[in-house]
Structure 1
Amino acid sequence: MKGFHKFLGVASIIFLAVLVVATSFTGYYISKNKDILSNFGNFKVDGKNFDYNWSIFNNNRSSQFETLTVSQTDNFTLPDSIVINSSLEDVIFIEEDRSDIMVEYYNEYPNSPLYSIDYKIEQLENTLYINSYYSVTNIFIDRAYASYINVHIPKDYQCNILDLTLSMGEITNHSIFDNINNLYLSASLGNVELDITTPKESISVNSEMGAITLNVSAPVQSFDSKSNFGEIKLNFTETIGTLVCELDMGSLEITSDKNIEHARFSTKMGSTQGTFYSNIATLSANADLGNIDLSFYDNDSTATYIDSNLGHIDVDSSFKVVKESEGPDFRIYSNMGNVTLSSK
């Protein structure tokens, strides 16, 4: 453990030294090349004060153009599945007394050839497809533009699959509804924050850059979540069949009150923390760089393989530590980080 801390200390010192040198060199270069930089994109240097004066900000501000609006309303018979890809628009489901589906599309945008939008909606066989796109070239958006997709559905509508992808914006409970068997959610730039209160066959949640926070109070047969950059916080109060969590950079925190049949956690750079009040049949947890800290209330004598390439291992005596070749129920490994297993 001392060697591990020493390594981190040395690495931190090296990183800070490189940062100081790079900052000093940048300041020196700017001070010696004011004329060159001042001609680059109208970037001006006045002593230590930098005046960002890029031509794109001055000549192509969106507020200089007239604001146009586009709206469209369509009605469809009830589909088995709904697939939505939204580039900018908020997606809101509205449950009401009706027998069909009505989709309202609204978008505000600057009247400029540098900014374009496109919207397409169609029902093929038993699936409703809703797609919106936009393209921006050399224009600075300096004002707010309203945009939304409102989907009006019957109160008792049972949907087999909802596949929702947002390029920008958050996914909340307004973005879904209760009666969905299979839920597939993806946010490129934005958080996902949901309360799931009805049983699901499967839930899949992905966030490119944003946090994932879910409170699940209903049984789920299959649950998986993935985040490239951000935190994942999951709270389960009912049984889960298969639970898979993958995280590139951030922290993973899981609390489960009921049984989990199979669980797999994987992090590249970040900590994994879990508290499990009921039995887990099989578990695999891996971390490239980060600590793994798991607490169990109903897994005494579970056959466990545990290892860390560079870090401290602390295992409660109630676990049966075995070799990997012996076919353990738990497989836990951290390449660079501490591993702690406790039994309550």
Structure 2
Amino acid sequence: MTETNISNSTKNEKNVGITSKIIHQVKETAYKDAYTARELFKMNIHEVPFLLDGLIPQTGLSCLTGSSDCNKSTFLRQLSLEIALGSENHLGFKLNTRHKKVIYISTEDDFAAISALIKKQYSKDRPEEILDNIYFVFSTESHIKRLGDILKSKKVDLVVLDTWTDLFSGDLNQSNKVRGSFEAYNELSRKYGCAFIFVHHQGKRTEDNSPSKNNLLGSQGIEAKMRAVVELRRDIGSRRLLTITKGNYSKDSFKGKSFVLELQEDTMLFQRKDETVNFSVGYGFEGLKVKFDKKAIIKKLLQLKSDGLSFEKAHKKITENFENAPGLTTLKTWFKDQSDSQTPSK
């Protein structure tokens, strides 16, 4: 076996975790699917390397989850741009890029939508050549084979699959089928040394639950195959809460709290606020003083729906009329609950 080579400047560093400096200096190692314990022991690796410190491991499978209107894709496009630029951090988390390249499979947004969104998110004072480092794929046909062909010819840091349910044709609740479907991605990740992150929705009626890996839609086998599960959820207005709900390699200091992000609507870019929100019982967060006037909101919602407005337009109106408004998914759940509770008049 050829051991991982580390430059002379880092060979003398002992008993320290891998830093981004070391990660940049690690040379590629020929792929193997089996090692002796001694070979593994002699590798100059002291901590599991991360692509995005504490959140996304450098290799393996991760998942970004949340309701359908919390800007998960926006978050991942911004991350992709930072990787392509070779930035040293993303939203205050250390970013350890090696190749400055991303493959992004988009199943919901087509080329026209991505074209417009990229123009918003990418600053005009940055060189356009950087955008060549992100490769968008819009066809899902034979996508695993296509991914393998692309990865043979170009080394990347991250592969984004947005969204996974559009790429899986089986039953979401069959654990063995779900776990088996992820193995092909896992093999590509190991073989080509890159991270895979899947966008996946949460289960019905979990939006108001505390952040949990169990909120994922479908079988427990989904989160079981992930090395990390990160949740993004709406807070008040343009605020979002970013939470590690599963992190096999993440430090405890990253868990049990949500990082507060602010979405800038003119640029569709997130900024991280200098605050965190801790978990607790009930609504799920300690110190998060969010109270909805549920009765008044439902009354307004019923009126707007009777006027023929879509849920999206009704949600916009409610957001404009109430200081604290729930997310779109919660609004739909409240409407359904209200409809189910009404019995036909006699």
Q: Normalised by the shorter chain, which TM-score bucket? A: under 0.3
Q: Is the strand fraction higher in 1 or 2?
A: 1
Using the size of structure 1 for normalisation, the TM-score is: 0.24
Greater helix proportion = 2
TM-score, normalization by structure 2:
0.24
